[in-house]
Structure 1
Amino acid sequence: MGVCGSKPKGCVGMKDKLKLQKKRRRQRTRRTKKTHSSNNKNRVEPSDPKDLSFSNPAYQGSIADVSQAGSLSNVVTPRFSNQVTHGNGTDSQLNFDDPQNEVKNPASLDKSSSQYEDENARMNDSGMLHNCGFISNAFLPCLACDESLDVKRKSPSLGGPSSRKRLSLIPSFKWSEGQENPILSLAKPIIQRPIAGSQIMCSPLEKKMSECWSRIEPSTFKVRGRNYTKDKKKEFAPNYAAYIPFGVDVFLSPRKINHVARFVELPAVDSQGEVPPILVVNLQIPLYPATIFQNEYDGAGMSFVFYFKLSENYSEDLPAHFRENFRRIIANETEKIKGFPMDMNASFRERLKILGRVVNVEDLQLSAAERKLMHAYNEKPVLSRPQHEFYSGENYFEIDLDIHRFSYIARKGFETFQDRIKHSVFDFGLTIQGNKAEDLPECMLCCLRLKEIDYTKYCQLSF
């Protein structure tokens, strides 16, 4: 039963089926060996170790010069080997997350499970792997991986504590000290001791112009109102500010410019009041790529420098509590704050708060995700602590706001937004946070508007 005794044509027994399958498997194995042998002869090997553009320290290598474009797509992650070649001697970008970049081996066209197992066994024995990607038209020859080259899988562990320790010593991907930032290379000649506010001109608020700044009313910002401790509601700020803007500069530099007031020529104003007659705000923005495990907070960047003069009606317009809190900030006084498990002393300078907003969000052509983030965080106040420094001079008080030391997410946001600065209209202001009823309402320390400033057009400052 179940066996055809006469074995007519088209009727094959179970044993014959198994023999036929084994025969086909052996044929596929021979074809695979021939394919691998031909591929191995055509492999492209680097002729000189100097040709290698990247060597991972985790594999006893070293990091060579990173592309000046600052693109992290040029960097091979630790999952891949240290052998990368480039076609025609030029650097190209490779996105390992793009499935189109994967090169299929002709031997892998047959999807049978038996062939897959045979190929894996052979490759594990001989050390051969498929080509796993390309740079432009040049193939990456056999990048060594521990597992399959599906980059969407979770990367395997790279060894014991010693390997993890070596990985932790990888420096941040910044331009080498001997290399010049591409943005700085486009800058105008280095200038020495310019007149404060001579770089960017002033224009009326209602006039639509680029590459300029304008005065704005303090009442356009929302701050904590008089009853904030009870109702938690914010109100428009009183329509007066402690300082009035009189100039804006943009400077590029290979590293942060601290205490920028030393390197510009400020107006000669006598200081006879209770507070300095000139306020300088130095907004320091990095121009190098943001990295998660960053251990250095200095490098190529730009400084937006705002200059303000004391309001003529400072004593009459500003309430007594605001003037007293600002005096304490200048004197760097401390206050006692209730906390758990014990009270602690904190500097009044930790109350300094940044107010910023992009006015023309709809003109920036943001994606849906970017638009959602912009609406969520635009106009959100943020305390400047601890990324700030304060300097006092003969007739000025300077506040440096260091974005180099912001969190990774904030720095990454600034990095992705850099190309849109020249299309943005941005309002900036400072206030002193009121934590108690007697510190309310909050008042504006200073404020102004920047209109579509292309920072790449400006000079480097000699310091």
Structure 2
Amino acid sequence: MFNLRVGPNYKKTGKKAPSGPELYRFDKCDLVQTSSSRLNVISGEGQFQHFVPELGAGRLEGTRIPAKMIVTANLPTDSPNMFNTPEEGPSFVIVFYFAASEALVAEAEKIKNGTCVDPSVLLLNKWCSVAETNRKEMGRFKAMAIIDDMDKHGFPGFISKFNGKPILINKSGTYNAYDTVSGEGQLAPSTGDSAPALGVMQINVHVFAFVARKGLFSMQDKFKDMTLNIGFCIEGRCDEEQPEVILGCATLKEMDIEKMMADAFDFSDFRLKSVLGRYDGEVYEHLMKSYEADMNRQQEFSRLFLWEVWV
């Protein structure tokens, strides 16, 4: 589904081909309504606290590749203004949770032994090593979206032409690595050269160009009628870094944001799966027993729920 760069000599040929299997398997997804554009991972906002207890094992030692990866992207709830680009504001934040695939774990072991030759894994390790402090390198992170049956939704041409095209996340992105500390559900910034437990990439749509913000805002009421395939990757810029491979991906089907934010939400209406087809399954109700407790505890958020896939 996702066509990515392949070598040799991509700059001359411009050749792309379908990605190989994703490096991180899709695990689950949150949707959070918040008054700011970013989530505080260490404080456990969103459902991060449910993800943290799983982080103790499976470190990819000898690398800076996190065993778990979270990618967040906010959708501003206010209509964009051409003459004003606030960096903060009310948002729906989509939170994607990923876990290292068996293939990535195996290749990471080869990095430790000095025998890894997989360009995508070597590039990922390089990127994770510098993305926190080097914004130019962090800007290699790419996001892409493919809307199925684009023509039937009646989008204007300026939106349709971007369907499936990757977007470099440079000034709108922030990457941070975290380690677990004593006590369940606690995180601290990862330091040194050890393998982090968790990597978090946050994408702030509030600082996108006006045309992009306008397009995304105009699409929100149509999400409930569409199938949206989301993918992420690290940009390979030379033969040694190609072919590119999808970092992680997911499909969101019939995402009715208004309904999702309502108290009476029927999880059976939705399907969520990996776009590469290896983690298909029905969405099922997972946290409803703790829903009221979560809502009372989360002062900043008006609605919160968790999707999870049967795997």
Equivalent residue of 1:250, what SS? strand
Q: Structure 1 residue 415 and structure 2 residue 217: aligned?
A: yes
Instruction: State the partner residue of 2:118.
Output: 320
- Give the 3 Å change call, closer, same or farther, for CA 313–347 of structure 1 in structure 2: same
**CA distance in 2 between partners of 1:449 and 1:291 (Å):** 30
- Give the 3 Å change call, closer, same or farther, for CA 286–237 of structure 1 in structure 2: same
Instruction: State the partner residue of 1:379.
Output: 164
Equivalent positions of 1:198-217 (< 5 A) are none
Q: Structure 1 residue 359 and structure 2 residue 140: aligned?
A: no
Give the residue type in structure 2 aligned to 1:232. Answer: G
Equivalent positions of 1:374-453 (< 5 A) are 374-394=159-179, 395-453=197-255
TM-score, scaled to structure 2: 0.68
Equivalent positions of 1:287-366 (< 5 A) are 287-316=77-106, 320-332=118-130, 347-364=136-153, 366=154
Instruction: State the partner residue of 2:305.
Output: none
Q: Which has the higher strand share?
A: 2
Give the residue type in structure 2 aligned to 1:431. Answer: C
Q: Is the 8 A contact 2:38 2:204 kept in 1?
A: no
**CA distance in 2 between partners of 1:352 and 1:231 (Å):** 22
Q: Structure 1 residue 272 and structure 2 residue 59: aligned?
A: yes
Measure how far apart 1:291 and its partner are: 0.7
Measure how far apart 1:361 and its partner are: 1.6
Q: Is the 8 A contact 2:174 2:201 kept in 1?
A: yes
Equivalent positions of 1:189-200 (< 5 A) are none
1:124-182 per-residue CA deviation (whole Å, 9 max, x = no partner) reads xxxxxxxxxxxxxxxxxxxxxxxxxxxxxxxxxxxxxxxxxxxxxxxxxxxxxxxxxxx
Measure how far apart 1:334 and its partner are: 9.7
1:332-369 per-residue CA deviation (whole Å, 9 max, x = no partner) reads 2699xxxxxxxxx86321111112111132442x16xx
**CA distance in 1 between partners of 2:259 and 2:74 (Å):** 17
Q: Is the 8 A contact 1:332 1:347 kept in 2?
A: no
Structure 1 gaps, min length 5: 1-219, 336-344
Give the residue type in structure 1 aligned to 2:73. Answer: L
Instruction: State the partner residue of 2:27.
Output: 246
**CA distance in 2 between partners of 1:407 and 1:303 (Å):** 18
Give the alignment's Cα RMSD to 1 decimal: 2.4
Instruction: State the partner residue of 2:17.
Output: 235
Give the residue type in structure 2 aligned to 1:300. Answer: P
Q: Structure 1 residue 282 and structure 2 residue 68: aligned?
A: no
**CA distance in 2 between partners of 1:271 and 1:462 (Å):** 33
TM-score, scaled to structure 1: 0.46
Instruction: State the partner residue of 1:223.
Output: 4
Instruction: State the partner residue of 1:6.
Output: none
Q: Is the 8 A contact 1:251 1:458 kept in 2?
A: no
**CA distance in 1 between partners of 2:257 and 2:132 (Å):** 38
Range 294-303 or range 452-461, more displaced: 452-461
**CA distance in 2 between partners of 1:346 and 1:254 (Å):** 26
Give the length in aligned residue pairs.
230
**CA distance in 2 between partners of 1:437 and 1:241 (Å):** 20
Equivalent residue of 2:139, what SS? helix
Q: Is the 8 A contact 1:328 1:348 kept in 2?
A: no
1:256-301 per-residue CA deviation (whole Å, 9 max, x = no partner) reads 2324473222142325213221111111110112111215221111
- Give the 3 Å change call, closer, same or farther, for CA 373–304 of structure 1 in structure 2: same
1:159-214 per-residue CA deviation (whole Å, 9 max, x = no partner) reads xxxxxxxxxxxxxxxxxxxxxxxxxxxxxxxxxxxxxxxxxxxxxxxxxxxxxxxx
1:111-130 per-residue CA deviation (whole Å, 9 max, x = no partner) reads xxxxxxxxxxxxxxxxxxxx
- Give the 3 Å change call, closer, same or farther, for CA 309–455 of structure 1 in structure 2: same
